[in-house]
Structures are given as C-alpha cells and as structure tokens.
Amino acid sequence: MAQTLIRMKAEVLKALGHPTRLALVECLGRQGEQCVCVLAELVACADRTTISKHLAILRAAGIVSDRKEGLKVFYRLSRPCVNRILTCIEQMVLSRVRQEQAVLNRK
C-alpha cells in the first residue's frame, strides 16, 4: 500500500514537471476555470492540440477536472491545495536564488 501511494504521488509530481503543464496549472490557479482556447493564449502556445494533450495528462493525474459546455471544454484545478504546493515550491526557488545571489555578491 505504501509503495502504491508513493508511486501515485510521483505521478502527480511528474505531471507537474513539464514547464507547459506547470504554466497551465498556475494559470488555472490565478484565473480560475478556463477553456482550452484561453489557456493556449495564456501560456503563449498557438497549438491547442498540444495544450489539450497536456491537460489530459493533468486530468489523468487528478490535478485538473473538466466540464463540457457545447463544443468547448473548460478546465479547473481539482483541488485548491495545488496552489499552496506551488506557492511553497516558488518560495523554495526564490530562497535558493537569493542565496546564490548572495554568494555571487561576495565574490
């Protein structure tokens, strides 16, 4: 059971590990529910097919959910806690950048 849970957690993190998917998740966290056409513009990707494939990976990992309205599909974060995870990661990265800058400033 513990190994299965670890593998499932790794799949979620793996889904977040691609820059485009991470950008999509951050957009959904900031903007709320959006259709593919808007998400493609927000992450500056003209190819909606590519965006749809990335969203399918995020949906399979349980990070986003979708709903259909006519011909459009709208996506949203499945859990608001995803925003907290991304905020924590951002704080870690910014802290590391500040530490590296401090080292460079001492030289």
- Residues contacting residue 9 through CB under 8 Å, at least 6 positions apart: none
pLDDT digits (tens, 9 = 90+) for 51-66: 999 999 999 999 999 9
Please tell me the distance from the alpha carbon of residue 33 to that of residue 15, in angstroms, as a whole number. Answer: 19
What is the tally of structural domains in the chain?
A: 1
Evaluate whether residue 86 is within a structural domain.
no
DSSP per position, 7-61: HHHHHHHHHHTSHHHHHHHHHHHHH-SEEHHHHHHHTT---HHHHHHHHHHHHHT
Evaluate whether residue 107 is within a structural domain.
no
Say which CATH number the domain at 58 has.
1.10.10.10
Please tell me the distance from the alpha carbon of residue 59 to that of residue 28, in angstroms, as a whole number. Answer: 13
pLDDT digits (tens, 9 = 90+) for 7-48: 999 999 999 999 999 999 999 999 999 999 899 988 887 688
Please tell me the pTM assigned to this model. Answer: 0.86
The whole domain housing 39 covers: 2-79
